[in-house]
């Protein structure tokens, strides 16, 4: 479980977050949406201990972060990029574990390739493989699909869902794409403009995620409802 209590953040005169409180159950997938600059990414970085706060965050020990920029090392092969964190932690059988993670994201056969030889979608798959290879208890995703085309985005959404369904690590996604949030999440958290506060928490009732749910009235209704909450701030 991740517990966020009274998280407030200032950057000089900029008031980024105000009294954010949220409990996230073990194995839950939530998405955070809100206007640009409302502190969504700052909240992720606070959870990851990359940014300080005078609030409190209680979380499991092992976490991983998937950044908007895939943050790959261009001089390392695909396989060696996945092995990096294992090298730093002295994990044995790195090649076998890396190959398993690459298979999970559909990159088998690209082990010896370099990042510049990969498409945008493949780079994000590689970043995801690197994040899950050590079996994190929670996963933070900061707009990881924002740089790919719409078709690739939907395919990657399905792959992220399948990985989550298999491993059930607690997941927090920041996204501007409301349909993406509805497709992937158990709950969608709506934040206000800066200073960011939680204004709405929307439960998502779908038990299974397939392409077909995107065309259902229930899916469209949820997307429209959350989008309407966001438009109210404009």
Q: Which two tokens stand for residue 185?
A: 């999440």
Sheet-wide strand order for 170-174: 63-66, 138-142, 170-174, 29-33, 187-191, 198-203
Q: Which two tokens stand for residue 171?
A: 């997941």
Segment 64-80 shows an average pLDDT of: 84
Per-residue pLDDT reduced to its tens digit, 136-166: 899 999 988 877 778 778 888 888 888 888 8
CA dist., res. 112 & res. 103, Å (int): 14
150 touches 144 (CB < 8 A):
no
Q: Domain locations in the chain? A: 1-62+140-234, 63-135
**Highest mean pLDDT (candidates 163-172, 209-218, 221-230):** 221-230
DSSP H helices, the chain, are 40-47, 78-89, 94-104, 120-132, 150-167, 178-184, 217-231
CATH architecture, domain defined by 1-62+140-234: 3-Layer(aba) Sandwich (3.40)
Q: Up-side HSE of residue 199: CA atoms within 13 Å toward CB?
A: 18
């Amino acid at each position: 479980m991740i517990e966020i209590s009274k998280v407030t953040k200032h950057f000089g005169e900029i008031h980024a977050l105000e009294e954010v409180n949220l409990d996230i159950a073990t194995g839950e997938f939530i998405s955070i949406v809100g206007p640009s600059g409302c502190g969504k990414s700052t909240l992720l970085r606070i959870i990851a201990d990359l940014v300080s706060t005078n609030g409190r965050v209680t979380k499991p020990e092992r976490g991983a972060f998937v950044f908007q920029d895939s943050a790959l090392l261009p001089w390392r092969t695909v396989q060696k990029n996945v092995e990096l964190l294992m090298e730093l932690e002295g994990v044995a059988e790195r090649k076998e574990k890396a190959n398993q993670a690459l298979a999970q994201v559909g990159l088998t056969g690209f082990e010896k390739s370099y990042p510049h030889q990969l498409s945008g979608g493949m780079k994000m798959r590689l970043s995801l493989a690197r994040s899950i290879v050590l079996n994190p208890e929670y996963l933070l995703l900061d707009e990881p699909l924002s740089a790919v085309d719409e078709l690739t985005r939907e395919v990657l959404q399905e792959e992220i869902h399948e990985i989550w369904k298999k491993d059930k690590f607690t997941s927090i996604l920041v996204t501007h794409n409301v349909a993406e949030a509805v497709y992937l999440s158990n709950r969608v958290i709506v934040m206000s403009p800066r200073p960011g506060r939680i204004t709405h928490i929307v439960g998502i009732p779908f038990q299974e995620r397939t392409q077909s749910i995107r065309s259902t009235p229930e899916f469209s209704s949820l997307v429209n409802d959350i989008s309407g909450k966001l438009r109210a701030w404009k």
